[in-house]
Structure 1
Amino acid sequence: MHGATTTDGCDEAPFDLLYSYLTRMMELTFAKSTLAGQLLAASTILTPGAQHVYSDEVNESLQYTTRPSDDLLAYVWKSGARPKANFRVHLGDGTCTCSSMHQLGIPCRHFIAAARHFGQDQLILNHFGSIYKADTYVAAFHKARIEMPLESDLSKDESLLPAAAVVDGRTSSSKAKKAKAPDLNSRKDKVAKASPMPIPPSTTTTSAPSTLVLSSDSATNTTDMDMISAMSMGLAIPGLTPPMMQQYPIPPHSYLHEMHMHMTHHQQHQQQQQTNPPPSSAPNGFSMV
């Protein structure tokens, strides 16, 4: 299909495949029609394939022993084995407990052994399925043929448009399906540009956190990013960065203000304890050593 370079080549490509398929089917149909004529002339009951299976089952049935229960019911088991009932055959219903007849539509070796024991060989042929009968094959394929259209009988339908053009092995629809990979560094670049001052690295030395007092007027005029950067630096929280502060579920101003007030109150309480330590509660009569 893709190798054709002209319009005529593209139009002829499907017909080459169809003609090859029709030629093979025409030859097979002719062979089946010839066989159907031979079966009709020979007046056979079974098809050649069914006759071959029937011959094999007859040979296997010779290895089985049959014991009748009445005129239509018998029990069959393998000769030489223990005399126990392995299969029950009903000639009137055409059934056997092996279920092979029900599944395949072909009399099993147990049914054949029981029918031959009663001398009813014709009953075996009557229980073959219709698809194995020669008359069914003759009705389907006798004088059947397939005719191929000539080139003069073909006409082009102008309403059928050609397939979509392919450029560089891809169509425009396939290009649209490809999603653009997200840029993971774009957000980091925006955060770095929006931050007014660099964030100092955390140190291992312990020192009292410095306080940063912001008025309400300056807080309202400062952007969220500037406020976050200023608060994180003033509180000297190790590892606290502006992108991390943006992920808190409450507004940054309220959260940092509460944190700042809590730490300021804690520092004032510690300074009061250092300036005015509480009196010792030593018991009377004992000196503190």
Structure 2
Amino acid sequence: MKAAVLGTGVMGAGMARSLLRGGVEVTVWNRTPERARPLAADGARVAPSAAEAVRDADAVLIALYDADAVLAVLGDALAASPEDTVWVQTATVGPEGTRMAAELAAGAGRTLVEAMLLGTRQPAETGRLTLLTAGDPAVFARIEPLTAAISVKTVWAGPEVGAGTALKLACNAWIASITAAAAQSLALAGALGLDPKLFLTAIEGAPADCGYAHAKGEGMLAGSYEPQFALDAALKDVDLIDGAARGAGVDTTLLAALRGLYGQASAAGHGREDLAAVYTSFGGPGGTGS
């Protein structure tokens, strides 16, 4: 199978390497060419344009940052791909961005499905992502070598493109919430005169335990925010979640609080660090962005 990966940030580069290990022929492209070139050492072909990258692809993974980037690349490259190429939308772009992407693909006579990514840098690099998929199951059967190479679990959200995005927003609301909640509890424990790590010790193995709290909490306590899921990307997603919630009539009080906390950390210079840097909004150590 031949695959193109459009976008070689944290997730795109990780998936490209997992595909190569899985025996898939991979062509990569990135708007900033310097970010794609290192993948040549792993065996990928680096294309000079998105259109060139997809020219003989069986499947295309879209791993770009936001809706504007996705729609621009679709407009440039859809027609350059073979008619039977499967376009796999993995970027978190919200319901409206997803609708527009699906319409562009349909207008070009191309098949687009969703495989939204649940996981960060390490699962992407090791082929252990969870995929939140939507679209025709028969289409996914055609690209099974690709999905098998990048994931350990698939949750099918439904036959309509957009269902994967809806599930991804619900999952990212949870991730943003528990990361901020862990930061609050660690900060509170410390402010009350305790070793903050006692919080993580107390919940360990209990019904309220959460592996994510430990993974992010350790980094918070060390003031180490190496990006696995960049804070600005989480902030972008909180805005998308807020818009979707308002449209569906769901209360956004908690989302407003999250927007404020992540926005404060971003304004303080932590946007490119891991979302665990939300701890700085509670007075936690500043990491490399301060």
TM-score, with structure 1 as normaliser: 0.18
TM-score norm. by structure 2 comes to 0.18
More helix as a share of residues: 2
Structure with bigger strand share is 2
